[in-house]
């Protein structure tokens, strides 16, 4: 009985090594300023578009006001002023006007504000991002990852999840739900809407990247990955599915196809994780050897 139990135990350990396999790369993206600005423009546009959908709903507008406060703060105003004083003044003024007109319930004015703000934000891009960076596909792709990061963060908030969706190490790699994964019950509808809209914005951004870089090999796979993410978010999939979509279905291909490591200004590149399957296998083999070698001492 003991022998069978020991054999089954060892088989189980080895099998766990087989199950626990995944692409061995953690994705830590560095802070490229140009990519951050491109992402910021997309995020602000997304937020004000959402505001325009909720004119007169003060609670929802309050949520998006906080979100916009994250994306445009006094530092951004100051930095913009170093390049263009008109945009330094107009961008925050128009954001505030959008929120104010939305609170007052004036849909027509909000639509005008959103269009005007979109124009100012687009104008800020060549002002803030140098032309060589603007034409750099790596910077463009990195900006997509930044927007995806925000989308995951909002989805975590929407589900009140204890899992950090941007932390790949918290992902369950066998693809099925585990007890520590949050259920896909939405507890914050605003964050949920925000998450879906940011993922859609990332998808749109990547379409623009593809149009500028049509010859990149994995474009279609990455596009399919983004489409799946948006679909899964719309279907309120569980946290692990969403994490798999991003960390397995999108990031590795984006990293390889657009050489994202090269854009990392702070030395935080994609680094290999410790190969856990190898460790489990070694332990298992050692166990088998020990069990057969010293079976008499173990009472087998």
Partner 1 sequence: MTKTKQFLVTAVFLALVATIVFVSPLGVKPAEAHITKVYGNYLVQVGWDNEPVYTGLVNAAQVTIKKGSGDAAKPVINALKDLQISIKYGSVTKPLDFLPSNTVDGQYHAVLIPTKVGTYSLVFSGTVEGQAVDDEIPLDDVASVDTLNFPPSTGSSQDATANVGQLGTLVNQLTSDIEDAKNNADAASKSVSNVVQSFQQVKDTTDKLYMISMTGIGIGIAGIVIAVIAITRNRQQN
Residue with the two structure tokens 């719309």? 234
Rounded CA gap, 246 and 141, in Å? 14
Q: Is 10 in the site for partner 1 (CB under 8 A)?
A: yes
- Closest approach, Cβ 7 to partner 1, in A, equals 6
Q: Is 12 in the site for partner 1 (CB under 8 A)?
A: no
Each residue 253-292 as x (binds partner 1 by CB under 8 A) or -, in order, gives: --------xx------x-xx--x-xx-xxx-xx--xx-xx
Rounded CA gap, 76 and 121, in Å? 12
Q: Is 92 in the site for partner 1 (CB under 8 A)?
A: no
Rounded CA gap, 173 and 7, in Å? 25
If you ran DSSP here, which 8-state letter would residue 167 be given? -
- Closest approach, Cβ 278 to partner 1, in A, equals 4
Q: How far is CA 270 from CA 46, 185, 260, 262, 278, in A?
A: 28, 32, 9, 10, 20
Q: Which stretch binds partner 1 (CB under 8 A): 46-54, 86-94, 102-110, 176-184?
A: 86-94
CA angle 144, 50, 199 (to 5 degrees): 25
- Closest approach, Cβ 162 to partner 1, in A, equals 30
Residue with the two structure tokens 């896909």? 184
Q: Rg of the chain's alpha carbons, rounded to an integer?
A: 24
Nearer Cβ to partner 1, position 17 or 156? 17
Residue with the two structure tokens 């166990």? 287
Q: Is 116 in the site for partner 1 (CB under 8 A)?
A: yes
CA-wise closest residue to 265 among 28, 26, 33, 27? 33
Q: Which stretch binds partner 1 (CB under 8 A): 48-56, 79-87, 148-156, 201-209?
A: 79-87
- Closest approach, Cβ 176 to partner 1, in A, equals 21
Rounded CA gap, 66 and 283, in Å? 50
Q: Is 175 in the site for partner 1 (CB under 8 A)?
A: no
Structure tokens at 142: 């990195």
Each residue 131-150 as x (binds partner 1 by CB under 8 A) or -, in order, gives: x-------------------
Site of interaction with partner 1 (CB under 8 A): 3, 7, 10-11, 14, 17-18, 21, 24, 84-87, 90, 116, 118-120, 122-123, 126-127, 131, 261-262, 269, 271-272, 275, 277-278, 280-282, 284-285, 288-289, 291-292, 295, 300
């Amino acid at each position: 009985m003991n022998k069978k139990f020991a054999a089954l135990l060892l088989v189980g350990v080895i099998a766990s090594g087989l199950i626990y396999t995944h692409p061995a790369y953690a994705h830590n993206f560095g802070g490229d300023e140009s990519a951050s600005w491109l992402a910021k423009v997309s995020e602000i546009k997304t937020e004000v578009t959402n505001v325009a959908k909720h004119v007169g709903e003060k609670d929802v507008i309050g949520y998006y006001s906080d979100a916009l406060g994250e994306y445009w703060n006094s530092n951004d105003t100051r930095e913009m002023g170093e390049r263009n004083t008109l945009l330094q003044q107009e961008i925050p003024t128009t954001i505030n006007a959008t929120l104010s007109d939305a609170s007052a319930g004036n849909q027509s004015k909000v639509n005008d504000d959103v269009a005007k703000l979109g124009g100012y934000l687009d104008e800020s891009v060549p002002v803030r991002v140098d032309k060589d960076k603007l034409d750099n596909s790596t910077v463009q792709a990195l900006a997509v990852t930044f927007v995806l990061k925000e989308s995951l963060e909002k989805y975590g908030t929407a589900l009140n999840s204890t899992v950090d969706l941007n932390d790949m190490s918290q992902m369950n790699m066998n693809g099925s739900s585990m007890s520590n994964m949050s259920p896909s019950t939405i507890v914050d509808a605003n964050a949920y809407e925000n998450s879906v809209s940011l993922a859609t914005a990332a998808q749109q951004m990547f379409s623009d990247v593809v149009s500028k870089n049509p010859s990149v090999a994995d474009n279609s796979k990455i596009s399919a990955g983004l489409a799946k993410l948006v679909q899964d978010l719309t279907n309120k999939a569980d946290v692990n599915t969403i994490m798999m979509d991003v960390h397995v279905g999108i990031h590795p291909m984006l990293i390889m196809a657009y050489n994202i490591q090269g854009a990392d200004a702070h030395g935080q590149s994609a680094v290999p994780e410790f190969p856990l399957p190898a460790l489990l296998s070694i332990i298992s083999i050692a166990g088998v050897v020990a069990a057969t070698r010293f079976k008499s001492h173990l009472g087998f």
